[in-house]
Amino acid sequence: MEKKVKTIGVLSSGGDAPGMNAAIRAVVRTAISKGLHVMGIRRGYNGLLAGDMFEMNLRSVSDILHRGGTILYTARCPEFVTDEGVTKGRDMCLEMGIDGLVVIGGDGSFRGARDLSLKGIPCIGVTGTIDNDIASSEYTVGFDTALNTVVDMVDRLRDTSQSHDRCTVVEVMGRRCGDIALHAGIACGATSILVPEIPFDLDRDVIAKMNRTIRTGKQHFIIMVAEGVGGVEEMAKYIEEKSGVETRATILGHVQRGGSPSARDRIVASEMGHHAVELLKEGIGNRVVIYRASKVVDMDILEALNMKREFDEKLYEIANEISI
């Protein structure tokens, strides 16, 4: 017979993302309304191992829905990648009476959740990463806010780029995933979009395109580059040399991770947090809450982690075709 779930824990882990607070709020409120106790664990798996946690109530999550970052703080925890670390985490859950855990983060955090589930503590993963890089989910909490921040920043860059007849090479976040670059590239009318998923040639895909466009009268350019491609300073020098257009590089950096979450991120995070608690309440663990066909559903963590992420090549082609 399944053990009755009385107390659950919640933590945020890995890089923070706008909307994590909305997910925490939904977890706490859903759990309390279902008669459960909730322990808020600080700084991801670090807090779990150190027993750094506190009981949350309805008011612990007041006034956080609109705030970026995470009130539970977040961290990376190398110890949790070891078997001893996960065993220690399991023992801490038993000691603190935690019968299940909601882990808000990305794929790395979900690996930890899977390991802890296999040691007998049911865990549910909730997506929280600006990168949109979780293969099993069509959407990750934080992506929409980050994207809108990028669009706002690049619109500003475009103003100055246009006034000076310049080319601006912009680096946006995404180490292995070009989704921010692709979507922001379309939304900002970038001349070229360079992502780690698609091989490119600077002469063919940037310089030749700029030259064609110059002939039609355009004299300022945005080149959108994903962090995983890197090298934007050198790229800017090369573009200036080859095209004759004065070029600057801008790395947007961590500004993309902050700020008040968009309505979309607040709503998806709330749905996902709620769904996670419904599963835990039934004693179900080892699942990730994902977005599929515009619905919040769940699937086995291991199956989810084994999925290969597909880059939207069709959207990339569209971007290419309309950026002339």
Task: Provide the annotated active-site residues.
Answer: 131
Least Cα distance to 134 among 288, 26, 237 occurs for 288
User: Measured from the CB atom, is 15 or 47 closer to ligand F6P?
Assistant: 15
Q: By beta-carbon distance, which residue lies closest to ligand ADP?
A: 108
Q: How far is the CB of 48 from ligand ADP (least distance, A)?
A: 9
Q: Which of the stretches 125-133, 156-164, 242-250, 282-290 binds ligand F6P when contact is defined by CB under 6 A?
A: 125-133
Specify whether the CB–CB gap between 288 and 99 falls below 8 A. no
Q: How far is the CB of 253 from ligand F6P (least distance, A)?
A: 8
User: Measured from the CB atom, is 111 or 158 closer to ligand ADP?
Assistant: 111
Q: Which of the stretches 2-10, 124-132, 243-251, 299-307 binds ligand F6P when contact is defined by CB under 6 A?
A: 124-132
d(CA 188, CA 140) in angstroms, rounded, equals 21
Q: Which residues pair with 251 in a beta bridge?
A: 171
State the DSSP code for 288.
E
CA angle, residues 94, 100, 105, in degrees to nearest 5: 120
Q: How far is the CB of 173 from ligand F6P (least distance, A)?
A: 3
Q: How far is the CB of 211 from ligand ADP (least distance, A)?
A: 40
Q: How far is the CB of 94 from ligand ADP (least distance, A)?
A: 19
Alpha helices in 97-222 (DSSP H): 107-118, 143-163, 179-187, 202, 208-215
Number of residues that bind ligand F6P (CB under 6 A): 10
User: Measured from the CB atom, is 81 or 214 closer to ligand ADP?
Assistant: 81
Least Cα distance to 183 among 248, 264, 108 occurs for 264
Interface residues with ligand ADP (CB under 6 A) are: 13-15, 45, 76-77, 80-81, 105-109, 111-112, 115, 129
Least Cα distance to 93 among 110, 74, 107, 112 occurs for 112
Q: Judged by CB under 6 A, does residue 15 bind ligand F6P?
A: yes
Partner in contact with 210, chosen from ligand ADP, ligand F6P, none, beta carbon below 5 to 8 Å by kind: none
Q: Judged by CB under 6 A, does residue 130 bind ligand F6P?
A: yes
d(CA 129, CA 279) in angstroms, rounded, equals 22
Chain CA centroid to CA 154, Å: 20
Q: Judged by CB under 6 A, does residue 231 bind ligand F6P?
A: no
Q: Judged by CB under 6 A, does residue 178 bind ligand F6P?
A: no
d(CA 102, CA 112) in angstroms, rounded, equals 11
Residues 6+ apart with CB under 8 A from 274: 26, 27, 30
Residues that bind ligand F6P (CB under 6 A): 15, 106, 129-131, 173-175, 227, 257
